[in-house]
Amino acid sequence: MKPEQNNNKASSKSTHKQQSSTEQTRPPSGKSKQSTSARPKGNHLWASLYLPDLLLDTMQNSEEIPVAVIERKNNRQQIRSCNHHAHEAGIFMGMALNSAYAILPALTVVEYNAEQEAILLRQVGEWAMQFSSIVCLHPPNHVLIEIAGSKRLFESFEILAALIQQELATLGYSGLMGIAPTPLAANLLARANIRRGIVQVQKLPYVLSELSVSYLELAPDTLEGLRRSGMRKIGNLLTVSPASLTRRFGPACVKYLDCLLGRHPDPRTPLRLTDFFERSLDLPLEVHDTNALQFATQRMINELAAFLVAHDNGVNMFTLTLRHEKLDDTQLQLRFLQATSQARHLHRVLSEQLAQTTLPAPVSGLHLLADTFSEIERDAADLFVKSRRQQNSFGEVIDKLCSRLGHDALYTLSTVDDHRPEKAWKKSAPESRQDRDSNWPDRPLWLLQQPRPVTPALWQRLSLEGDAERIETGWWDNTDVRRDYYLYRDDRGTRYWAYRQRGKSNELFIHGIFS
Amino acid sequence: MNLEALLKHPGLWKGRQQHDGKETISTGYPALDAVLPAHGWPLGALTELMVAHEGIGEFSLLLPSLDALTRQQQWVALVAPPHIPYAPALINAGISLERMLIVDPEKDTTESDKNAFWATEQLLRSGVFSAVILWATKNSNERQQRRLQLAAEHGKAWAVCYRPQQTAKTSSPAGLRMVLQHSDHGMQIDIIKNRGGRLHSLTHTTPSATSPDNTGQITPLPEKPHTEKNAAKNIKTPLCSISPLKTYETRTKQ
């Protein structure tokens, strides 16, 4: 996404008229807004990111196409928000979807989804943690970044603010930013698109009093009430005594204003960037069979999948602990060949493993911990483009097989540069890359696990074919091999690779079978 | 049930099912391709290879096709091979080892046969693998073979199952069945069931039988196809499959 598009979009928002900071009433005392000395120590300074159209932002790509987010209101589908291109074509907020299609048949729409929006907001919040250790979410549209603590790192908060906005644009989100000492004031400035930051709490009433009450985060009927009573600007509201405000609009309005102006503390819970996923579940009834456990784990797995998606990560391994009342816990470790975030795949591997588990005692609780993550291989699908019917990915199949047969049972082969036949090959994990090796002498397709001595009965039926090959090596690691290999064929057509040990008995051992 | 629906029934196969020729894997032997209706190993079907004794060239028979598949970056799997598939020999045969998965369930347990069949079925169904080769033990039964056949159809994969020669007597839902045995000229291939095609006998000559120098490269020589009329009669040892085979021959000729 290009920053310029965000600019387009921001300017297209009819509701957020840009207001130049120069038009604002200057508080007479305000000279040095940057000076830290003016700010009592320990005070916060909040940068609020206003992200009104997270969903719309995710829909936009480099192509200049008209897109819109729709919602269902009063039993009809209408436009919730749209981008610059749609707006230019004549589409506006609240327009019925049918009318919008009539104007612009090529309009791309997506339905508003609050859950998706919450996930996106959290993603922005976690992204913002690169700038500050204190980041708070203010759903549905605000991310609050505490920048007083980060100021020293970034010279001044203007530089930091510019950096945040620039990085946000490269992320593909269009947002407005406001900077103020209280979270709510920062939100307000962001919504009003006041680019100039306010550092001192005392200055808040001066700056805010000129702004429209419509930017206040109050209940819609309160805003409607304010409009009816002729209060257009926040300044009008501030002249009213708190007691009459409470009488008219309830205590919430007064409390909001107190928090807004810093008269009342407004504690926030900082976002924690968790690096692990943990869920516990106490089962209301003890579970005796693994089938019932699968049902109980369903929710946990879905949450894990959501966590992984939000982090844009996949899980390589997680541990499910089955708690028993009297015995020690049973631990199940689930491993994945390729990091995955798909709930379907997680479920399948877990149910396969549960089916293989015998419960030593009834299960009274579950605990799931996932702390090994890695990036999902995006190009994983390219590895088997040629397969005719792609129903599962390679990793899914392998994981399913491993969960029943064990991880040692699946491997690919590779050659080792060693003359000793039993050391010339090794097992590798599936999907490991191997170098194409050069030619080897004639070797049997089957190598026996253990060389087998030729019985007299078999010896009767053997006839020698071809030349002998001497293999004499390995003296350096005390597993030296001094053998003469021969090709034998028996009367039933089986071809053997057999050897005699030089300097030892004349006994013949079968080491391989040409098949 | 009307005729259309009946013809689509998976349990029913039509005597002269036409193959479109697209979905096939060349065997690497022109003479063998010529007698198979798909002009190669059948995809979406089970191929049964019934072997008299191990080591007569029964695995080499598949190497040209496995070579071609792995070089096209397609996945193949060997399930429950009887011994260690020896990497240097496979490299010599041209196989890209990183595309060959070995599935080696723990042997000699009560579950090992079941696990091998289960794994084969999963691999076939997945649609990820082009070829899955299973070394079945004596315990394999018709029901299991049918499951493999259906899984191969589902995943459009080439399923191969090695079975002991005795099982040639039993019926099987496999699309292609071959009896492999040793003869003076090499390995004799008797096709005892060939869905959509005729029955044949061929000889596969291994390099060491003809060339004493043993170059180390497995270079299969072209088979000598017997004439179609003599195909059935040329099976040397009195195989049980001869008699049903003859009746089939006469029926198709009428």
Same domain, residue pair A141 and A193: yes
What type of residue is A479?
T
Residue A434 lies in a domain: no
For chain A, the straight-line distance linking the first and the last C-alpha, in angstroms and rounded, comes to 59
- Among chain B residues, the shortest Cα distance to A447 is held by B84
> Looking at per-residue confidence, does B180 or B183 come out higher?
B180
Is a pLDDT exceeding 80 seen at residue B208? no
Same domain, residue pair A391 and A464: no
pLDDT, one tens digit for every residue, chain A (515 residues): 444 444 444 444 333 444 433 333 334 343 333 333 333 445 788 999 999 888 887 766 545 778 888 888 888 889 888 888 888 888 888 889 889 988 888 888 888 888 888 888 887 887 787 777 788 999 889 999 988 877 666 677 788 888 888 878 877 788 899 999 999 999 999 999 888 888 888 888 888 888 998 899 988 888 888 888 888 888 888 888 888 888 888 888 899 999 999 888 888 888 876 677 777 777 767 888 888 888 778 777 877 887 776 666 788 889 999 988 888 888 888 888 878 888 888 888 898 888 888 888 888 888 999 888 887 755 443 343 333 334 457 888 888 888 888 888 899 998 888 888 888 888 888 877 666 656 788 889 999 999 999 988 888 999 888 788 888 876 677 777 888 899 998 888 888 999 998 877 788 999 999 88
Find the helix or strand (DSSP H, E) in which A58 lies. helix A54-59
Whole-Å CA distances, A316 to A93, A130, A355, B7: 44, 25, 21, 46
CATH number, residue B194: 3.40.50.300
Same domain, residue pair A471 and A382: no
Q: Is the Cβ–Cβ distance between A209 and A234 less than 8 Å?
A: yes
Residue B100 lies in a domain: yes
Question: DSSP character for B106?
Answer: P
What type of residue is A443?
R
Residue A8 lies in a domain: yes
**Domain carrying residue A470:** 446-514
Residue A261 lies in a domain: no
Q: Sorting pLDDT into bands at 50, 70 and 90, what band is B183? A: confident
CATH number, residue A127: 3.30.70.270
Residue B228 lies in a domain: yes
Q: What is the pLDDT of residue B181?
A: 86
Find the helix or strand (DSSP H, E) in which A450 lies. strand A446-453
Q: Sorting pLDDT into bands at 50, 70 and 90, what band is B243? A: very low
Query: Are B128 and A392 within 8 A, CB to CB?
Result: yes
Query: Are B74 and A384 within 8 A, CB to CB?
Result: yes
Phi-psi sector, A337: left (phi>0), alpha (psi -120 to 50), beta:
alpha
Residue B152 lies in a domain: yes
Residue B10 lies in a domain: no
- Among chain A residues, the shortest Cα distance to B217 is held by A442
Q: Which of A119-128, A327-336, B132-141, B208-217 has the lowest mean pLDDT?
A: B208-217
Whole-Å CA distances, A172 to A23, A59, A398: 30, 10, 36
Which chain B residues are closer than 8 Å to A434 by Cβ?
A: 97-98
Going A436 to A442 to A447 to A450, the CA torsion angle's sign is negative
Q: Is the Cβ–Cβ distance between A336 and A395 less than 8 Å?
A: yes
Instruction: Please count the structural domains in chain B.
Output: 1
What type of residue is A152?
R
Distance of CA B248 to the CA centre of its chain: 21
Average pLDDT value for residue range B105-125: 86
> Looking at per-residue confidence, does B120 or B26 come out higher?
B120
Task: Decide if A496 touches B, using CB distance below 8 A.
Answer: yes
Residue that terminates a domain, selected from A403, A425, A454: A403
Same domain, residue pair A14 and A124: yes
Helix, strand, or coil here: B39? coil
Same domain, residue pair A50 and A192: yes
Q: What is the pLDDT of residue B177?
A: 92
CA dihedral angle for residue B245, residue B247, residue B250, residue B254, rounded to 10 degrees: -130
Q: Sorting pLDDT into bands at 50, 70 and 90, what band is B7? A: low
Q: What is the pLDDT of residue A340?
A: 83
Q: Sorting pLDDT into bands at 50, 70 and 90, what band is B46? A: very high
Residue that terminates a domain, selected from A200, A227, A246: A200
Cβ-based neighbours of B247, under 8 Å, separated by 6 or more: none
Whether the bond between A139 and the residue before it is cis, its omega within 30 degrees of 0, is: no
Q: What is the pLDDT of residue A60?
A: 63
Query: Are B101 and A415 within 8 A, CB to CB?
Result: no
Q: Sorting pLDDT into bands at 50, 70 and 90, what band is B218? A: very low
Tally the C-alpha atoms within 13 A of residue B157's C-alpha that lie toward its C-beta.
Answer: 33
Same domain, residue pair A43 and A167: yes
Q: Is the Cβ–Cβ distance between A213 and A237 less than 8 Å?
A: yes
Residue A302 lies in a domain: yes
Same domain, residue pair A363 and A305: yes
Query: Are B53 and A436 within 8 A, CB to CB?
Result: no
The packing angle between helices A343-355 and A394-405, to 10°, is: 20
Report the C-alpha gap between A141 and A143 in whole angstroms: 7
Residue B190 lies in a domain: yes
Residue A411 lies in a domain: no
Report the C-alpha gap between A202 and A198 in whole angstroms: 10
For chain B, the straight-line distance linking the first and the last C-alpha, in angstroms and rounded, comes to 29
Q: What is the pLDDT of residue A357?
A: 85
Residue that terminates a domain, selected from A176, A200, A224: A200
Interface of A with B in 428-447 (CB under 8 A): 428, 430-434, 436-437, 439-447
CA distance B244 to chain A (A): 26
CA distance B216 to chain A (A): 4
Q: Tokens at residue A1, please?
A: 């996404």
Residue A182 lies in a domain: yes
Residue B81 lies in a domain: yes
Q: What is the pLDDT of residue B14?
A: 55
- Candidates B182, B229, B200; CA nearest to B27 is B200
Report the C-alpha gap between A267 and A272 in whole angstroms: 15
Residue B2 lies in a domain: no
Q: Is the Cβ–Cβ distance between B86 and A514 less than 8 Å?
A: no
Query: Are B187 and A425 within 8 A, CB to CB?
Result: no
Residue A49 lies in a domain: yes
Instruction: Please count the structural domains in chain A.
Output: 3
What would the 3-class secondary structure string for A152-206 be? Answer: CCCCCHHHHHHHHHHHHHHHCCCCEEEEECCHHHHHHHHHHCCCCCCCCHHHHHH
Please report which residue ranges of chain B form alpha helices under DSSP H.
3-8, 30-35, 63-71, 87-92, 112-126, 142-155, 207-210, 242-253
Report the C-alpha gap between B165 and B58 in whole angstroms: 12
Query: Are A406 and B106 within 8 A, CB to CB?
Result: yes
Same domain, residue pair A52 and A186: yes
Residue A254 lies in a domain: no
Residue B9 lies in a domain: no
Report the C-alpha gap between B102 and B119 in whole angstroms: 11
Query: Are B100 and A431 within 8 A, CB to CB?
Result: no
Same domain, residue pair A316 and A381: yes
Chains A and B: how many Cβ contacts under 8 Å?
202
Cβ-based neighbours of B228, under 8 Å, separated by 6 or more: B198, B200
**Domain carrying residue B153:** 23-253
Query: Are A413 and B57 within 8 A, CB to CB?
Result: no
